[in-house]
Amino acid sequence: MAKIKDVAKLAGVSPACVSLALNEKPYVSKKAKERIYKAVRELGYRPNIVARSLRKKRTGIIGLVLSDIANPFFPEIARGVEERAREYGFNVILCNTDADPFQEKESIEILLSRQIDGLIITSAHSTANLNEYLREDCPIVLVNRDPFPGRFDFVGIDNISSARMAVNHLIKLGHQRIAFIEGEPESPASFGRYEGYKKALQEAGFSLQENYVKIGYLKYEGGYRAMISFLKELPPPTAVFCANDMMALGAIDACAEKGVKVPQDVAVVGFDDMWIASLKAVQLTTVRQPRYQMGVKAVDLMIERIQGKRGEIKRVILPTKLIIRQTCGKILKGELLPS
């Protein structure tokens, strides 16, 4: 196995110079770096990661806990995290919890036991468990859900204004009987979208009808069941706002099964703007969340903590956009309405 002194000999520099170059220090000339990198490739040199970690008291690893890898919402966040972490020289270990608080707790404890340098949690479910990790010497960044405002760094959106924007679009199209398919009732993000829905109705002078609100738990099946229930109401709603795209797809399929046309009979709006929403067969009007950018910003906050550049808690709220397609009956080609 090649050693650092072998690289130094082949490149015609000192071992210290090789170490500086491999650690991306600014003290090595461009030509020397080129010779060093060429020697590294020729010799197949691999740095001793364990030894380096002991010297730096870092592992170069960030833990990422995802709520549901099968939900298209989360892989884009993961991609942002992984690509941004790589730019900083960090690797990412991913754990999927399937929205199970017990699995979430176990995943966090496994990651912490591996001496990770930081932890990013998307859609945290267990508020009680997170309290335990305030004492851990490991920076934590929350993404999408913030059950502890002011205790952890956070990256997300303004769910209230984003939902209000979506419902206002339906109101402007003339709808008055607007239903809402809620996500997970204990989720701060879901609660915010419910508040935005109510706020838009109140501002328009419409009363909230409890029979027009159903829980879909962010699942396709939940959206399907909720829409079937709405179609039995007398009178049924003329528009449905869904707290995510998966439930919106379930709602659309329920309408198709019952012979109800979208958007002629019922308008449907989703939330997230997953890739499937733009398919020609779907063309879902929805609220676009900057999922990739959420992952990127989460890593930025994490690195600030790891490098000791900041002590105070920081919240990053990213903008959303209403993407108007065909499920509302009015097509404004290419128009993006800012929140």
Segment 91-110, tens digit of pLDDT:
999 999 888 888 888 888 88
Taking the CA atoms of residue 74, residue 332, residue 280 and residue 78 in that order, the dihedral angle to the nearest 10 degrees is: -10
Instruction: Tell which wins on pLDDT, 54 or 310.
Output: 310
Q: Using DSSP bridges, classify how beta strands 239-242 and 267-272 pair: parallel, antiparallel or unpaired.
A: parallel
Neighbour tally for 151: CB within 10 Å: 14
Segment 153-206, tens digit of pLDDT:
999 999 999 999 999 999 999 999 999 999 988 888 999 999 999 999 999 999
Please give the domain boundaries of the chain with CATH numbers for all domains: 4-47 (1.10.260.40), 58-157+290-318 (3.40.50.2300), 159-289+322-338 (3.40.50.2300)
pLDDT of 233 strictly over 70:
yes
Average pLDDT of every residue of the chain: 88
pLDDT of 27 strictly over 80:
no
pLDDT of 240 strictly over 90:
yes
What is the 3 state secondary structure string of the chain? CCCHHHHHHHHCCCHHHHHHHHCCCCCCCHHHHHHHHHHHHHHCCCCCHHHHHHHHCCCCEEEEEECCCCCCHHHHHHHHHHHHHHHCCCEEEEEECCCCHHHHHHHHHHHHHCCCCEEEEECCCCHHHHHHHHHCCCCEEEECCCCCCCCCEEEEECHHHHHHHHHHHHHHCCCCCEEEEECCCCCHHHHHHHHHHHHHHHHCCCCCCHHHEEECCCCHHHHHHHHHHHHCCCCCCCEEEECCHHHHHHHHHHHHHCCCCCCCCCEEEEEECCHHHHCCCCCCEEEECCHHHHHHHHHHHHHHHHCCCCCCCCEEEECCEEECCCCCCCCCCCCEEEC
Q: Using DSSP bridges, classify how beta strands 336-338 and 321-323 pair: parallel, antiparallel or unpaired.
A: antiparallel
pLDDT of 47 reads: 67
Q: Please, which pLDDT band fits residue 339 given cuts at 50, 70 and 90? A: very low
CA distance 187 to 193: 10
Segment 214-228, tens digit of pLDDT:
999 999 999 999 999
Query: According to the per-residue pLDDT averaged within each range, which of 17-31, 130-144, 321-335 is highest?
Result: 17-31
pLDDT of 325 reads: 95
pLDDT of 48 reads: 60
pLDDT of 135 strictly over 80:
no
Segment 53-95, tens digit of pLDDT:
444 567 889 999 998 888 888 999 999 999 999 988 899 999 9
Instruction: Tell which wins on pLDDT, 310 or 320.
Output: 320
Percent of the chain beyond pLDDT 90?
60
